[in-house]
Amino acid sequence: MNKPGIGTCSVLALAISLFSVTCSHAMSGREVYDKVHEIRQKALDHKLEATMVLFDKGGGKRSRTLVGYGKTGENESYKVLVVFNTPPDLKDVGFLIHARSFAERDLWAYFPEYKRVRRIPTTSQDDSFFGSDLSYDDFGGPSNLDDYSFKILGEETVDAKPCYVVEVTPKIRRKYTRYVAWVAKDLWVHMKVQYYQDKELYREGYFSDVRIIDGIPTPFKGAMENRKTGHKTDLAIENVQYNTRFPDDLFTQRSLERAGK
Amino acid sequence: MNITNLLRHISLKHLKLQKAQLFIALSGICLGVAAMVAIDIVNRSVLRSFEDSINHATGRAVLQVAAGESGFPEKMLDVVQGVPGVEYAVPVIETNAKLSGGTERAVMILGVDVLQDHQIRDYSITDESADIPDPLLFLARSDSILLTRSMAEREGIKIDQQIQVQTVEGIKTFQVRGLLNPDGPARVAGGDIAIMDIYAAQMAFGKEGRVDRIDVSLLRGEDFDKVKERIQGAVPEGYNIDTPAGRTRQVEMMLKRFQNSIGFVSLMVMFVGMYLIYNSVSISVVHRRKEIGIMRALGAKRGEIIRLFLGETLVTSAIASFIGVGLGLVFARLSIGVVAQSVTDIYMQASVTELAFSWGELIRDGIIGIIASLAAAAFPARSCARITPISAIRSMPYSEDGFLFGTKIKIASAALIILSFTILIAYKMAGNSSPLRTSGTTFAAALFLTVGLSLGTPLLLKWFLVFFHRYISPRLGAPGRLAGLNLQKNVSRNAVALAAVFFSISLLVSSVNAMNSTRTSIFEWIDSVIRADILIASGHPLSIGAHGIPMPGEMIKEIEEVPGVLTVEPFRKGYIYYNGRKVMLETTDIAMRMEYCPGMMAEGTRDDMVNLLPGQDNVVVNEGFATKYGVRKGDSIVLPTPDGPVRFGVAGIVVSYSSDSGVIWMDISTYRKRWHDNLVDMYEVRVKPGQDIRKVSGAILDRMGGERRLFALPALEFRNEIRQILDRSWAVTYAINTIVLVIAGFGIVITMLASVLERTREIGVLRSIGMKRSQVSGVVITESVLIGAAGGLLGAASGLLVGWIELEGFFRIDFGASMTYHIDYLSLAWALLLSAGLSALAGLYPAHRASKINIVEALRYE
């Protein structure tokens, strides 16, 4: 099954590039995304601690902290486990991704109060990730680039960083009809992204504080706003490690039930 | 002269002069159409509310898998999802709850798998269709609940506010995690719906590991019937696989008897309206016979005269029908609440928030009013055309006796009455499975009988007057004799007024007696099965079927410990599927029931109930079930249980009026063993001898009331409330009866006015030779009372028979032969009094007109 994914502001693929790539020729959109893809793949093997703050349209604010673990497998396969630590109501709530390829993956969630692991239907990967303005997909790994078409719209500077402006259009039906991404030329991470439903802008994200960790460019701050609902989510990475090489049994449903312990 | 010119120059002038009469005639048509429109709209609105609820609640599901109210194991979800061709199979728990505090609003709880439910229903907790600040928290916490925006506004509830809800586990506090926009399931039950995650709903409503329903969507291009067959093959026998439309049909079938009985009455209204039109046109003929004579003398053809009268009727009935449609909308608005409440009391929760009607139907009802008017007007119009010009110009008395006393009418009357009795005999002799055993058959018998008797009213009036002259009039003096003679002058016209009274009184007597019979039978049955002193339930004990919340089975021990309690008997009921149709399964402690309740057996003896005791897979069924499914004592039936089909022996046939879908009784321990359901809908408590029932009931509430909201109702109050519910369910019928009586009253007014007009000269003569105004009034009122009395007598007698037919067709057919006919003798006395009183009242205005006649002008009148 073709399972889409876009990871634009991904916690896992919080963008990145090991080396600055200087382009001596005009790049195509696909070439730009090959670079982005390469950085994301490298970032898959990781552990991170982050704080997510949700703002509702009335000004209400809800904070939560989480820990995420990732591991790459053979070919395009990878696994991700995310566990919430705070607030107490959400402690040990977690979710697990098993991707057999960049196009095919399974998702499960665990809720301690019910002591149940629940499967999340794969078709809802564009849905909001539990009330945040990020989608399940944003928490996944790199996407299958063959599922999209790319077009360079121009070049602009964002946050003092020169960027390619690329229009990405999914070939299969998604919640959005296209998105426009501002990809930093030297880092191959998103600095800004705008999702459109036809001509209407419905989601917009900004990324900043890009640091190089273990050679991987990582934006430590990100914000995504849903223009339709007025909701906004800030994400701040507090700590990140790459090349962690966690064992496979960290990414099982049993481990999900034990909050990765 | 063409018809338009005739209408403009002749009819309009006439109508302007006879405003009062025109108003009365218009009122009759208007009320008839209004009653028909109101009933159509109310019926449609109730059904539409169920249909909408089902559609909104089912979304894109094309099939639904269910197995009765107790639900079935959730593992069946994987079985259904695994069936080839199934796209999504999502679980649903649908249950009732009640807000504790505030308005104590009844709320439907929809427990769904919120992570995948948007595949079927039009909403998502994580997108813009809902305002849920923290969906993760909603999913993670079992106290999470979503309300509709409309209900939250009505109740003044805000997001993050805590609310208390009455559940199986007692009063529980839930946190409102968000509000749903009025789309998809948020429109169910008029917005009185709350959505919970399925696992939270399982915990809150004692349904761990079970679901009530699986909603299924199919992969594109899959053959519906084949997938349905595959699902049926994959799940155990007894599971019901139906479409959402099928569920609507089941509701429709459930409400059919209720709606049929109202529909029957609405048809009667139209009939009485037709009497009024007939009379009105007849009077118009009387008024204008001279004018007609002149027109005929000037060359107008008979056809033109007929067209003139029918044209007038067409125009006036069109106006009246138009007003009637508007009035019908008002009636519908006024009565919808009562009907919805009755449906809720008897069948299921009905939330009718708006009137449902189609313009097509309104136009159809208006056209029926016009056609009925034209049909009624056709007879006098035809008679009028037969008036010879010479007799009209000379003002020779006009009478339709020739037509109504004709042999054809007599034969028709006798034939219809004989046909009616033949149908009834055939119905009684037909076997239970015969196609004749339908309410349609009894309806036809009642209709033929009533129409047959109506056609026979001229003859009856003639006989009545013979009796009157021989035995009564000598005691009433000259005015009495005059009244009798006057009625004799135009028996046909007076017979039509009599028929209207007959019809309305017949309707009234039949309704009262059918209701009295159901009420008496129900009370005899209740007395035989409820021998408790106190009934305890989470909601009102009467509403346990509609919006009750069951209680845990373990509560029995706590109630038994309350001082003064002698015994506690648990009672659980719910629908299961038998042969693809819903039947009521009632369970109780049979040993206790045998000890305390006499019970009513239709086949077998009370000793047969021993076979129901624990450890034996036996049941008893009610007469309705036995008749519907051809089951007898000693047979066996296979019932669907969550573990698969189980064969149960039928130990006897009992009397039970719990449901018209058929009732099965079994011991509660057998039920618990087979259905794994430990919940109880009602506890029936008996107190120790000498104990004060109210004190014991108070002690139970004190002990348990902190954990849950309980109703402890003394059995006596329970019976009173049942009486109220039954009365309420007949409220619409009584309202229509009242309309019919009013129309019949109008009929008498018109008849008497015509009679007075026709006898203007005669009254003048009587006045000139010394008759007092009061005596003239007395004569007219006596005539009116005589019509009323004759109509009342015939109506009361036929009403008794029609009441029996109504009971047979609308109740005994579903509930069994044990529902016997109980005559309410008082209703007969009231009917006679009412008919005489109404007639006297109706005679007042014509009597006043007669007494005010100027002697000189009257003597000049031709």
A17 in any annotated domain: no
Checking if the pLDDT of A1 tops 50, the result is no
* B119 contacts on A by Cβ (under 8 Å): 121, 123
Helix B473-489 with B457-467: angle, nearest 10 deg: 150
Residue B250: the pLDDT is: 60
Sign, CA torsion B610/B611/B617/B619: negative
Read off the CATH number of the domain in which A247 is found. Answer: 2.50.20.10
Checking if the pLDDT of A10 tops 60, the result is no
Query: What does the pLDDT average to over B777-796?
Result: 88
A86 in any annotated domain: yes
Which residues, in sequence order, are CB contacts of A22 under 8 Å at separation 6+?
Answer: A186
* A113 contacts on B by Cβ (under 8 Å): 140-142
Residue A195: the pLDDT is: 92
**CA–CA gap between residue B416 and residue B733 (Å, rounded):** 26
Number of CB pairs < 8 Å for A and B?
A: 67
Q: Which of A111, A120, A128 sits opposite B140 (nearest CB)?
A: A111
Which of B136, B137, B208 has the highest number of chain A CBs within 10 A, making it the mutation to test binding with A? B136
Tokens 């057999």 appear where?
A: A100
* A117 contacts on B by Cβ (under 8 Å): none
Contact A89 B115 (CB under 8 A): no
Q: Is A17 within 8 Å of A189 (Cβ atoms)?
A: yes
Contact B142 A114 (CB under 8 A): yes
ipTM of the shown complex: 0.78
* A118 contacts on B by Cβ (under 8 Å): 113, 115
pLDDT band with cut points at 50, 70 and 90 for residue A256: very high
Inform me whether the C-beta atom of residue A63 falls under 8 Å from chain B C-beta atoms: no
Residue B248: the pLDDT is: 62
Checking if the pLDDT of B122 tops 70, the result is no
Checking if the pLDDT of B4 tops 80, the result is no
Looking at per-residue pLDDT, the higher value among B183 and A87 belongs to: A87
A69 in any annotated domain: yes
The overall average pLDDT reported for chain A is 82
Residue A103: the pLDDT is: 65
- CA of B643 to nearest chain A CA: how many angstroms apart? 24
Per-residue pLDDT of B311-361, as tens digits, reads 888 888 888 888 889 988 888 888 777 777 766 666 666 666 677 778 888
A82 in any annotated domain: yes
Per-residue pLDDT of B384-427, as tens digits, reads 777 777 766 665 555 554 555 567 888 899 999 999 999 999 98
In the structure encoding, which two tokens stand for residue B51, read together? Answer: 């249909």
Contact B134 A62 (CB under 8 A): yes
Residue A2: the pLDDT is: 36
- CA of A111 to nearest chain B CA: how many angstroms apart? 5
Tokens 């209400």 appear where?
A: A60
Contact A90 B140 (CB under 8 A): yes
Which of B113, B134, B174, B196 has the highest number of chain A CBs within 10 A, making it the mutation to test binding with A? B134
Q: Which amino acid is at B653?
A: I
A131 in any annotated domain: yes
Residue A93: the pLDDT is: 92
Residue A87: is the preceding peptide bond cis (ω within 30°)?
A: yes
Q: Is B424 within 8 Å of B805 (Cβ atoms)?
A: yes
Looking at chain B, the whole-number percentage of residues with pLDDT higher than 90 is: 10
The count of structural domains within chain A is 1
In the structure encoding, which two tokens stand for residue A219, read together? Answer: 């934006």
pLDDT band with cut points at 50, 70 and 90 for residue B376: confident
Inform me whether the C-beta atom of residue B126 falls under 8 Å from chain A C-beta atoms: yes
Q: Where are the alpha helices (DSSP H) in chain A?
A: 29-43, 253-257
Inform me whether the C-beta atom of residue A56 falls under 8 Å from chain B C-beta atoms: yes
Inform me whether the C-beta atom of residue B219 falls under 8 Å from chain A C-beta atoms: no
**CA–CA gap between residue B224 and residue B227 (Å, rounded):** 5
**CA–CA gap between residue B601 and residue B608 (Å, rounded):** 9
A18 in any annotated domain: no
**CA–CA gap between residue B265 and residue B35 (Å, rounded):** 9
Inform me whether the C-beta atom of residue A61 falls under 8 Å from chain B C-beta atoms: no
Stated as kind and residue range, the H or E segment containing A67 is strand A61-72
Per-residue pLDDT of B124-156, as tens digits, reads 555 555 677 777 888 888 899 998 888 888 888
Residue of B nearest to A127 (CA): B126
Query: What does the pLDDT average to over A66-74?
Result: 89
Per-residue pLDDT of B154-175, as tens digits, reads 888 888 888 888 777 777 889 9
Per-residue pLDDT of A92-101, as tens digits, reads 999 898 888 7
Q: Is B584 within 8 Å of B663 (Cβ atoms)?
A: yes
Inform me whether the C-beta atom of residue A229 falls under 8 Å from chain B C-beta atoms: yes
Distances (CA, A) of A131 to A11, A64, B34, B130: 16, 12, 53, 11
Residue range(s) defining the domain that contains residue A105:
29-257
Residue B9: the pLDDT is: 66
In the structure encoding, which two tokens stand for residue B172, read together? Answer: 């529980």
